[in-house]
Amino acid sequence: MFRAGLYARVSTNDQQTLSMQSRAMREYAARRGWTIAVNVREVGSGAAKREAREKLLEAARRREIDVVLVWRLDRWGRSVTDLLATLQELEHLGVGFVSLTEALDLTTPAGRAMAGLLAIFAEF
């Protein structure tokens, strides 16, 4: 059974979706049989320092979670470079990554293949 870290973020202009993101991710984790070990919510611009995201990354570094679950990729990464760097770090740590709305699941072989293709296109 995976220990999941959930990350929900909204900008100040879109605060009404924070609860919806969290609820959908909790339901998804329950369907997968995952235990929610860390559940962080953040409000603020994507360009700002994300302290809650850093808290989740620290949990991954301490091996307290097995998978990071986000609502959408743009909620997690500030830029393509940032996204790829954090995904590489999670992979190095042996922590999976799932983006709920894009159906990107790096805990599966098909999901890891898709991530490889996305990285190729991002570099191109």
Would you please indicate which residues are annotated as catalytic (active-site) residues? 11
Tell me how far apart the alpha carbons of residues 37 and 110 are, in angstroms, rounded to a whole number: 25
Name the CA dihedral angle for 29, 35, 38, 44, rounded to a multiple of 10 degrees: 10
| Strand 96-99 to 104-105 pairing | antiparallel
Q: How many CB atoms lie within 10 A of CB 57?
A: 20
Give the side-chain half-sphere CA count within 13 A for 24. 15
Give the side-chain half-sphere CA count within 13 A for 104. 21
Residues facing 5 on adjacent strands: 38, 68
